[in-house]
Amino acid sequence: MRCAHEVGKVREAERALMARLPEGTLMQRAAAGLASVCARVMPAVYGSRVVLLVGGGDNGGDALYAGARLARRGARVHAVQAGSKIHPGGLAALLAGGGRVLRDDEAAAAIGAADLIIDGLTGIGGTGGLREPHARYAALASEAPGLVVACDVPSGVDASTGRVEGAAVHADVTVTFGTYKPGLLIDPGASYCGVVELVDIGLGPDLPDPDVVAARHEDVQPPEPGPESDKYRRGVVGIIAGGDAFTGAAVLTAGGAVRGGAGMVRFASVARPVELVRQRWPEAVTTVIEPGPHDPGVLERIGRVQAWVVGPGLGTGKAAESLLEAVLTTELPALVDADGLTVLSRRRDLLRRAAPTVLTPHAGELSRLIRADREAIEARRLEHVRRAAEELSATVLLKGSTTLVAEPDRPVRVNPTGTPRLATAGTGDVLSGLIGALLAGGMSAMDAAAAGAYLHGLAARLASAPDPGEESPISAADVIDALPAAFRSL
């Protein structure tokens, strides 16, 4: 797992480590790592034009010391000072190495002509929008043709949350020190970071449990059938989805479960979606249920399952509410999506249950569930997914440019495999069926949601780019077809 810590915890770990080291050691470690990455991403160091954007904090010092190292290797290094302060030791090292500080009227031309720009304007403690002249320098760097390397976090990105207010540096590479920060993994901040490189400066023993984690390939371990497996041991998932108005949701949710490794899929809906699921997925065991008043025996007629998926395309009327209530009064794990979430927004009492519950909203659905502004959710995704998990006592998977999975009192999981190609109708239904299959297979709610998001994103990438470098549009059905390849890649 890639572990990320919020700024307060990083500061505490830094203080503990610095108390055991000679003064300046930590900054020298960071500067050495930064210079090493810069040298690696440049075609050549000797003769290259390097511009340092230097604020008054420690990141400015890191940039100056790194610039001094590059200057000693033959780079032409110029520093642009933002604000009234500059790190004295770093400045002395840069000047001793042959670098110089530019006047403000020289900055724009130098930034535009640079082969490499190192962003040390602000550090991980920066919050709110960039002020002048920092905002102007950030804009010049982002528009320049040279490579931009951010020091610890791109200036203008909130390191703890990923929030961006106003101008921010768009980096090609971000070199972060000691540990990842949540804002490097969560949009909108993540979209400003480029490739993130972690430099070990020795914080590990002083860091507490992480606030956010992101899976690596080897961390995703869906259930594997063994010699004694049969369809029941592999997990039976029950799906209640679709209706006369939305038949596609039924077919896609069932497909996500079939290709997601379920031992058996039991599907129930009104007649037309059932007919279409039978045609597309003959493996599914289907049951026709009639819309109408509460039917206490409906789940028994569907048959025994180990987890439920309810909501996609189901509608939001009394019949849908009755089915959702029937599922959520069981003691089985349940996933609620789409129309089911709309019903829950007026029946939050249904979430008072002991069994695991996974909710998979996008920002609009979450805004109704927790009565928050949609734009605020998009801007502060980490804050709102945590709030939702706490308020709703559920595992909440917030879909979007960065998918987040939260449970109360646990690190939030960030999915690293997402792609804009998933922004197409029906892909959320596929995800619901896939997670339902993993729940039925015995995974915990958090693990099933996180693994499902990872495999779903991976399948979308495989479907959109079967040949490296050649992406193409995809449909939800393409994601289903690519799921076996995604599983095999693990």
Q: Is 447 annotated as a binding residue?
A: no
| Coil, strand or helix at 398 | strand
Q: Is 318 annotated as a binding residue?
A: no
Q: Are 102 and 86 in contact (CB under 8 A)?
A: no
Q: Is 200 a known ligand-binding residue?
A: no
Coil, strand or helix: which one is 315?
coil
Q: Does the annotation place 125 within a ligand binding site?
A: yes
- 415 labelled binding-site residue: no
Residue 127 known to bind ligand: yes
Residue 472 annotated as lining a ligand binding site: no
- List strands edge to edge, sheet with 173-177: 100-102, 76-81, 49-54, 116-120, 147-151, 173-177, 195-199
Confirm whether residue 219 is marked as ligand binding: no
Residue 172 in marked binding region: no
Q: First-to-last CA distance in the chain?
A: 15
Q: Please give the Cα distance from 101 to 122 (Å, whole number).
A: 18
- Is residue 296 packed enough to be buried (19+ CB in 10 Å), middle (13-18) or exposed (0-12)? exposed
> Does 123 carry a binding-site annotation?
yes
Token pair of 260, please?
Answer: 């997601």
Q: How many CB atoms lie within 10 A of CB 436?
A: 35
Asked whether residue 62 is marked as a ligand-binding residue, the answer is: yes
Q: Are 77 and 98 in contact (CB under 8 A)?
A: yes
- Residue 313 assigned as binding residue: yes
58 is in an annotated binding site: yes
Tokens at 203, concatenated:
């914080």
Query: Pairing state of beta strands 412-414 and 404-406?
Result: antiparallel
At 101, list the tokens.
Answer: 């500080």
d(CA 318, CA 444): 31
Residue 362, marked binder:
yes
**Is 152 among the annotated ligand-binding positions?**
yes
* Residue 452 annotated as part of some ligand binding site: no
Q: Is residue 25 a known part of a binding site?
A: no
86 is in an annotated binding site: no
User: Does 248 carry a binding-site annotation?
Assistant: no
**Is 119 marked as a binding-site residue?**
yes
Q: Please indicate if the annotation marks 249 as binding a ligand.
A: yes
The reply, when asked if residue 403 is annotated as ligand binding, is yes
Find out whether 399 is annotated in a ligand binding site: yes
The CB density around residue 271, as the number of other CB atoms within 10 Å, is 11
What is the C-alpha to C-alpha distance for residues 212 and 156, in angstroms, rounded to an integer? Answer: 20
Residue stretches of the annotated binding site for K(+): 59, 119, 155
Annotated binding site: 58-62, 119, 123-129, 152, 155, 249, 313, 362, 399-403, 428-429
* Residues tagged in the binding site annotation for (6S)-NADPHX: 58-62, 123-129, 152, 249, 313, 362, 429
Residues marked as binding for AMP?
399-403, 428
